[in-house]
């Protein structure tokens, strides 16, 4: 298979399955329905909004963390703002109790400032109840004595969409491949930061409109871009919302390894060592990259085992036949000797 075919198949493999989407939307609808009934007196299953990687369309197959933003009515906001002592916590507790009606295990996640619902299939849904504040949204932060903070996920979603159209759909594909690398190699980097860096790289790279046949070069150049980032930089401005995001963890070791392996894969391709090249890419991106390689290797191993079995069986059969022939020869010579002795005795 060509570079173009392999990377096209890889990007297709990263797409969220329809079966996964059905489960996500069903749970989303259940949550929205119970919140709508409590806070808006509506029987609709709509009203919330997907944010996070799933909302930005950059999530990949197997994504287990789903974020939902739910807009609350102004009457609740007025009630909350009248409280003097940590109204943020009371606000989240009230929303949590409502969700407990359908999901008893719903709890407040103090680290994420969300109501978290965990499911038997390892999926986790985080609900962020918000109030609309012009074009942005206000959410409850319950750390310390509590406060209200602003988020702007809509601007992030719009920026991703515009960036994707401006690069011939290459931007979202690069984000998804980068997430596959992040998960496969346990890279300590936040989703939004990785997408922001992918955007910064792609819009300064001369091949941002490239087709699949240059995706190997694009990935290698992206890792080179990450490799050359200053090690001292610990904070960035997020694409779209311009929120300042901190990422103190050092991810340079994983970047250097990805750059080396991707460069090695390209060199192997140039030398027509396609199978070895695919294996190198798999060390970067994981099992979704050209899964046929594993299938071929399993088939090859299975074929070798069958051949060895047949060979050993043939050897055993041959030995068995040789033993029979030897025994027959011995019996034949014994008969000759006995016949000779009998003839001599009779004479």
The answer to whether 158 and 240 have CB atoms below 8 angstroms apart is yes
Asked if pLDDT for residue 189 goes beyond 60, the answer is yes
At the topology level, CATH places domain 16-151 in Beta Polymerase; domain 2 (3.30.460)
Q: Which burial class, exposed, middle or buried, applies to 16 when counting CB atoms under 10 A from its CB (0-12, 13-18, 19+)? A: middle
Share the mean pLDDT of the chain: 90
Segment 261-298, tens digit of pLDDT: 999 999 999 999 999 999 999 999 999 998 865 555 55
The ranges assigned to domains in the chain are 16-151, 156-290
Q: Model confidence at 151, in pLDDT bands (50, 70, 90)?
A: very high
The answer to whether 176 and 60 have CB atoms below 8 angstroms apart is yes
Q: Is 203 helix (H, G, I), strand (E, B) or coil?
A: coil
Highest average pLDDT, of 39-43, 141-145, 214-218, comes from 214-218
Percent of the chain clearing pLDDT 70 (strictly above):
87
Asked if pLDDT for residue 91 goes beyond 80, the answer is yes
Q: What is the pLDDT of residue 61?
A: 96
Greater pLDDT, 159 or 327: 159
Listed in order, strand segments (DSSP E) in 244-303 are 244-246
Least confident of 141-145, 240-244, 254-258: 141-145
Instruction: Supply the DSSP string of 35-95, one letter for each residue.
Output: HIIIII----S--EEEEHHHHHT---TT--EEEEEEEPPHHHHHHHHT-SS-HHHHHHHHH
Greater pLDDT, 339 or 161: 161
Segment 2-47, tens digit of pLDDT: 899 999 999 999 999 999 999 999 999 999 999 999 999 999 988 8
- Residues 6 or more apart whose CB falls under 8 angstroms from that of 83 comprise 90
Greater pLDDT, 249 or 311: 249
Q: What is the pLDDT of residue 78?
A: 82
Greater pLDDT, 302 or 19: 19
Q: What is the pLDDT of residue 182?
A: 98
Strands 124-133 and 65-71: parallel
């Amino acid at each position: 298979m060509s570079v173009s075919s392999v990377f096209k198949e890889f990007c297709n493999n990263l797409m969220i399955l329809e079966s996964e989407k059905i489960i996500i939307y069903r749970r989303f609808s259940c949550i929205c329905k119970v919140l709508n009934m409590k806070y808006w007196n509506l029987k609709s299953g709509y009203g919330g909004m997907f944010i996070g990687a799933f909302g930005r369309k950059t999530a990949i197959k197997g994504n287990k963390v789903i974020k939902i933003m739910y807009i609350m009515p102004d009457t609740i906001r007025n009630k909350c703002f009248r409280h003097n002592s940590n109204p943020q916590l009371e606000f989240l507790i009230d929303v949590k109790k409502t969700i407990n009606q359908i999901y008893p295990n719903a709890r407040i996640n103090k680290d994420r400032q969300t109501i978290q619902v965990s499911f038997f299939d390892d999926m986790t849904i985080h609900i962020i109840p918000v109030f609309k504040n012009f074009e942005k949204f206000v959410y409850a932060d319950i750390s310390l004595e509590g406060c209200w903070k602003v988020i702007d996920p809509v601007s992030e979603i719009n920026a991703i969409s515009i960036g994707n159209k401006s690069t011939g759909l290459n931007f979202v594909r690069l984000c998804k491949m980068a997430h596959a690398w992040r998960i496969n190699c346990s890279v300590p980097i936040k989703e939004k930061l990785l997408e922001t860096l992918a955007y910064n790289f792609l819009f300064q790279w001369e091949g941002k409109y490239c087709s699949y046949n240059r995706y190997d070069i694009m990935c290698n150049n992206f890792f080179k871009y990450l490799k050359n980032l200053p090690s001292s930089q610990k904070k960035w401005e997020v694409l779209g919302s311009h929120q300042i995001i901190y990422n103190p963890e050092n991810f340079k070791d994983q970047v250097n390894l990805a750059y080396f392996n991707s460069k090695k894969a390209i060199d192997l391709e140039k030398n027509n060592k396609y199978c070895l090249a695919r294996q190198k890419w798999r060390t970067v991106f994981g099992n979704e990259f050209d899964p046929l390689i594993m299938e071929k290797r399993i088939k090859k191993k299975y074929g070798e085992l069958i051949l060895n079995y047949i060979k050993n069986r043939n050897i055993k059969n041959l030995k068995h036949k040789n033993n029979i022939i030897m025994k027959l020869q011995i019996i034949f010579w014994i008969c000759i000797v006995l016949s000779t002795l009998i003839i001599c005795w009779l004479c």
